[in-house]
Amino acid sequence: MTRPLAETPDLISLADPSEPLLWTRGDRGCVGIGETLRLHFSGPTRIRDAARAWRAIAAAAEIDDPVRMPGTGLIALGTFAFDDDSTAESVLIVPRLLVARHRGSAWITEIAHTDVLDGSATTTEIAHTGTGTSTSTSTSTGTSTGSDSGPDSGEHAPRTEPALPDAAPHGPWPGVALSPSADGADPVAAYLTGVNEAADRIAAGGVEKIVLARQLTGRIDPGSDLRFPLTRLADRYLDCWTFAVDGLIGASPETLIRATDGAVSARVLAGTRARHPESEQRDAQARDELLTSAKEQHEHDFAVQSVVTALSPHVRDLRTSEEPFPLQLPNVWHLATDLGASLGEQSSALELVDALHPTAAVAGTPTAGAVAAIAELEPFDRGRYSGAVGWIDAEGDGEWVIALRCAQVGPDLPEGRTVTASAGGGIVAGSDPAHELGETDSKFRPITEAFAR
């Protein structure tokens, strides 16, 4: 029952203004409308638990999806906390309606749960399929009306084609100027102290690289329309995935893992210089400095090695780009390495995320020592920042990026919504605290500009 949508809708305009569920880059991506299922995970096994739960759901699902394109069929979008001990929840969210675009084509998928073992299902429904959660999907055009899209619809209800809903009218966007949080302490001074301490630990041996981050915070008015910052991110950061999952909003340039039809790819970033749009010559100089700096190359190698080591057991024919290349983003230059491989076994994208997280790009080297140092030197819980955000389908294919250039937006309360942005950088032997601070300023720019008035 699959036909292309007659129109290719603007995904962001279809997103919920207050709780957007979105994954997009250029003319590709998907938007979720409503929610059929939400799974929560926490602790050291959060990604593995999610991978296992998703396998069970996918195995039990009845899927009617002849399109089988990225963004059709049964899909969950997810966000996973950076740290094993984070108080932030990791979630997988299955939308009720999923609208996907791939270049000039678009589809709508309706996902209904026929029964769920979460206490809300009736005995009859559980008895019907026996184990776990059963989810049925149908992918179709949105030309008909009268969709049976209630939460209890499913195989028992007569199936009609899901309709493309109208976009919500524009809500307000007063914006916010994000700033270092000021609760008496001086967070910038604390960050600089942390960088010095990290450099001392590296000099003392045992750890070679520690990624330290800092935060900016603010509050947006209740009812602010989050499609505004999302549109800015998607319009400006064309080489990034713009995402919104459970209040985590951002545009990341770093692909942790992409798995489609047995092909695997990743993009490793480490090494950064601010862009200089005011002068072509100064900008080229920044790029060349990055390309020729032994320190940056060294830092980059750590990140590539951590991905190669973690990925190797799961793939065949692992190849990397010969030399790191300069990735040009509107705010920064990054040293980048692309990796490609064939899937060596039946690992799902989430199982690969579990194997890879945390990479040296966001933790350091060696991983355990760097993660322990972060817990001691950063005076906050990173939450989902520098964790993984992305989507997975019923085949186990998916795309996951490192949650960078992002902010966590809190619940929509009468007093407003908190916004917490985080950015960091790798500290290695010889790192200069003032330079590192400037680098975080550059990395905050996508978010500070997107959330501005």
Q: How far is the CB of 211 from ligand ISJ (least distance, A)?
A: 5
Catalytic residue selected from 161, 209, 378, 439: 209
Cα dist from 184 to 180, 189, 190, whole Å: 11, 12, 12
Cα distance between residue 450 and residue 200, in whole Å = 36
Q: How far is the CB of 78 from ligand ISJ (least distance, A)?
A: 20
Catalytic residue selected from 125, 161, 208, 254: 254
Main-chain phi, psi angles of 293, to 5 degrees: -75, 120
Q: How far is the CB of 207 from ligand ISJ (least distance, A)?
A: 15
Is 295 assigned a catalytic role? no
Q: How far is the CB of 336 from ligand ISJ (least distance, A)?
A: 9
Is 443 assigned a catalytic role? no
Please write down the HEC assignment for all residues of the chain.
CCCCCCCCCCHHHHCCCCCCEEEEECCEEEEEEEEEEEEEECCCCHHHHHHHHHHHHHHHCEEECCCCCCCCCCEEEEEECCCCCCCCCEEEEEEEEEEEEECCEEEEEEEEEEECCCCCCCHHHHHHHCCCCEEEEEEECCCCCCCCCCCCCCCCCCCCCCCCCCCCCCCCCCCCCCECCCCCCCHHHHHHHHHHHHHHHHHHCCCCEEEEEEEEEEEECCCCCCHHHHHHHHHHCCCCEEEEECCEEEEECCEEEEEECCEEEEEEEEEEEECCCCCHHHHHHHHHHHHHCHHHHHHHHHHHHHHHHHHHHHEEEEEECCCCEEEECCCEEEEEEEEEEEECCCCCHHHHHHHHCCCCCCCEECHHHHHHHHHHHCCCCCCCCCCEEEEEECCCCEEEEECCCEEEECCCECCEEEEEEEEEEEECCCCCHHHHHHHHHHHHHHHHHHHCC
Query: How many CB atoms within 10 Å of residue 208?
Result: 19
Q: How far is the CB of 349 from ligand ISJ (least distance, A)?
A: 19
Geometric angle at alpha carbon 261, from 255 and 266, rounded to 5° = 15
Looking at the Cβ atoms of 22 and 195, the one nearer to ligand ISJ is: 195
The tokens describing 221, both together, are 């008015």
Q: How far is the CB of 272 from ligand ISJ (least distance, A)?
A: 4
Q: How far is the CB of 81 from ligand ISJ (least distance, A)?
A: 15
Q: How far is the CB of 191 from ligand ISJ (least distance, A)?
A: 12
Tell me which residues touch ligand ISJ (CB under 6 A): 211, 213, 254, 269-272, 334, 361-362, 386, 404-405, 423-426, 443
Cβ burial, residue 179 (10 Å; 0-12/13-18/19+): exposed
Which amino acids are annotated catalytic?
209, 254
